Chains A and B, each alone.
Chain A
Amino acid sequence: MIDYQFNFDVIWRNWDNFLGALGMGLGLAAASLTLGAILGLGLAAARISGKRWLDRPVWLYVELVRNTPLLLLIFFVYFGLPEIGIYVLDKYHSFILTLTLYAAAYMCEVFRAGLTSIPNGYLEAGKAIGLRPAQRARYVMLPMMFRITLPAMSNNFISLFKDTSLAAAIAVPELTFTARQVNANTFRVVEAWLTASILYLAAAYLIAWALRRVERRYAMIR
């Protein structure tokens, strides 16, 4: 490394900022993913409802959202909604709304795939013991779908958590934003980005580890 002297002092001086920023990212992710999963489940139910007027619009929504860059959606919601008279959202809520809508499209696909991969025999067994449709959904389909989709869900969770870095583009003080500020103010370029990278990696591994525990807890013999 050419003449570059490492100096992590600025990192320690800004350590509280970094940790707070990490917490901010995790909070944004938790809120958006919870809402996104709920919305996604509803969308998935619409997709497999067998009713074209429900299925088609949801399909279109999912395709449009998944093929549009998240950064564009963030700007569109943040700068565009006030244009049509919606002023109530600050940058935090605006970002959560965007990531929720984005996550829902991805979750919808994960859940739909999980629901359609449930072998028919289980549903028939549910019918045979006299379960009503809602009961079959509650006691057969949802639990099986949950187990089948857990691995795919954890991939999605991690990837959506990483997407919270884009909140920096609308000045939400999360990790990327903080690292960039430290970079600009102190010129400790490598230290700032290294710290952010390590914190992101640590958080991603933490999420993966937690979800793997859930997976093991709910492991299904197949």
Chain B
Amino acid sequence: MGDKGTFLYEIWVARGSLLSGAALTMQLSLAVIAIGSFIGCFGGLGLVYGPAPLRLAIRSVVEVLRGVPVLVLILFCYYGLALFSIDVTAPAAGVIALSGFCAAHMSETFRGAVASIPVGQTEAAKAIGMRFWQRLTYVILPQAARRMLPPWVNTGVEIVKGTTLLSIIGVVELLLSTQQAIARNYLIIQFYLAAALIYIIINFSVSQLGAWLERRFAYFRY
């Protein structure tokens, strides 16, 4: 493994904490994407089909969540929720804030995708007597899903990158575990590059998954 102080030696020493940091990054990302997308679908439904007051309410929340930096959302949640004597851990506060961000973007994505389906599709479905949920399930959503995919993947990548902000409130995800290793061995350049490589691999996998899904959905054209 080389001598103490060389990159190979030090990364071998730090492998456990780096890997657990990377694992936490992925867990946090998955949780945020799952929660955020789930809420975002309902937000999007409300934006397209909801009554005017509901649309206005969702629209306002979405605008606020998209207009305020994620870091501010995170710090607000972290320091703010404690005031309610809600005992949130740092990771929980982070997941809540990032999920809000993710949900806001998904709502907008969902709305845009559904709105881009030509009205003729809805009318053709109405013409054969389908009800709202049937039109949604069999006609609108299968087509909208494909249009949602690219922005969804983008949001996923943003979330993975966004989890680094949790290092600021002390969550030992990949970036903070890298910094902790650097504090011991001073291999600043090498360790940041190594961490960057891991992020790139994770994000590349997310994009590949997205591309695979897109191919799966590519059986029809417009």
Contact = CB atoms under 8 A, between A and B. Distances in A.
B192 A193 contact: no
* Chain A contact residues: helix, strand, loop or mixed: helix
Nearest to A200: B68
Given A67-B200, A71-B164, A83 B85 contact: no
A197 B83 contact: no
B9 interface: no
Contact of B72 (A73, A76, A189, A193): A193
A189 B189 contact: no
A79 B195 CA distance: 15
A75 B71 contact: no
Nearest to B206: A67
B64 interface: yes
Interface in B17-53: none
Interface in A159-196: 162-163, 165-166, 168-169, 175-176, 179-180, 183, 189-190, 193, 196
B77 to A, nearest CB: 9
B167 interface: yes
B199 interface: yes
* Chain B contact residues: helix, strand, loop or mixed: helix
B199 A69 contact: yes
A168 B71 CA distance: 10
Contacts of A169: 168
A196 B72 contact: yes
Contacts, number: 105
14 contacts: A2-B83, A4-B83, A69-B199, A70-B161, A72-B164, A72-B195, A72-B196, A75-B192, A76-B189, A158-B67, A175-B72, A200-B68, A200-B69, A201-B67
Contact of A193 (B64, B79, B165, B179): B79
A189 B83 contact: yes
B68 A76 contact: no
Interface string B157-178: 1001110110110000001000
Contact of A68 (B167, B196, B207): B196
A32 B94 CA distance: 28
A72 B197 CA distance: 11
Nearest to B25: A69
